[in-house]
């Protein structure tokens, strides 16, 4: 994926029979997704204008340019939609786009490597860093809070973490 693109939403499938889709927004202000239109696919091969119709549970109903039928809407279910970074607002120093965190090395406060950020998840109670630790078959989930993650250094491509005892093997 290009560093210039940020995933701002995903298509959940058709809504009705006239080509409308269910759209889940990943924006801090969910309906801002419409202001970043047109949105593209990850590879940039397709572009869609976005017009929100109304709110539904976990998202919106929307019209995407070029999608006119239920079959076309069903065919793009799961499609991730991207905006160019320069379309998005600048963030305060203590906020980050998830895409910027993925791939960063995670070190403990003593400088030992804990792993690499594989993904950022949010199940409703706050962001969790999914960290792939060397020698472990499963990832470790670390709450992304100021207390547990005191330093994010994007320039150095690293995170300093102070995880609870026992979260990572010694």
Per-residue confidence (pLDDT) for residue 2, from 0 to 100: 52
pLDDT, position 38: 95
Residues of the chain where predicted confidence (pLDDT) is lower than 50: 1
In words, the CATH class of domain 98-161 is: mainly beta
The backbone torsions φ and ψ at residue 11, rounded to the nearest 5 degrees and listed phi first, read -90, 130
CATH number of 5-86: 2.40.30.60
Which pLDDT score is estimated for 89? 84
| Closest C-alpha to 127, from 167, 94, 98, 157 | 98
Instruction: Provide the pLDDT for residue 1.
Output: 44
pLDDT at 129: 95
Reading phi first (left if > 0) and then psi (alpha if -120 to 50, else beta), residue 66 is in: left
Please say whether the beta carbons of 117 and 131 come within 8 A.
Answer: yes
Q: How far apart are CA 155 and CA 113, in angstroms?
A: 17
Global pTM? 0.73
Could you give phi then psi for residue 75, rounded to 5 degrees? -65, -20
Domain positions in the chain: 5-86, 98-161
- Phi first, then psi: what are they for 107, rounded to 5°? -115, 150
pLDDT at 28: 80
| The token pair that represents 35 in the structure block | 């202001």
| C-alpha to C-alpha distance for 71 and 135, rounded to whole angstroms | 45
Contacts of 113 (CB under 8 A, 6+ apart): 105, 106, 107, 134
Per-residue model confidence (pLDDT) at position 170: 66
Give pLDDT, residue 96: 87
5-86 and 98-161 in the same fold: no
């Amino acid at each position: 994926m290009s560093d210039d693109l940020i995933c701002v939403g995903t298509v959940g499938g058709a809504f009705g029979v006239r080509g409308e889709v269910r759209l889940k927004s990943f924006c801090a202000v969910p309906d801002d997704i419409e202001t970043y239109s047109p949105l593209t696919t990850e590879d940039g091969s397709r572009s869609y204008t976005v017009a929100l119709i109304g709110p539904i549970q976990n998202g919106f109903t929307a019209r995407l340019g070029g999608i006119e039928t239920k079959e076309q809407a069903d065919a793009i279910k799961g499609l991730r939609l991207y905006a160019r970074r320069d379309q998005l607002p600048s963030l305060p120093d203590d906020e980050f786009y998830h895409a910027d965190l993925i791939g960063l090395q995670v070190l403990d406060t003593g400088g030992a490597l804990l792993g690499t950020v594989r993904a950022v998840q949010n199940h409703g109670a706050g962001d969790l860093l999914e960290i792939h630790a060397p020698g472990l078959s499963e990832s470790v989930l670390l709450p992304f809070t100021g207390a547990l993650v005191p330093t994010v250094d994007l320039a150095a491509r690293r995170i300093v973490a102070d995880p609870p005892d026992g979260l990572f093997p010694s």
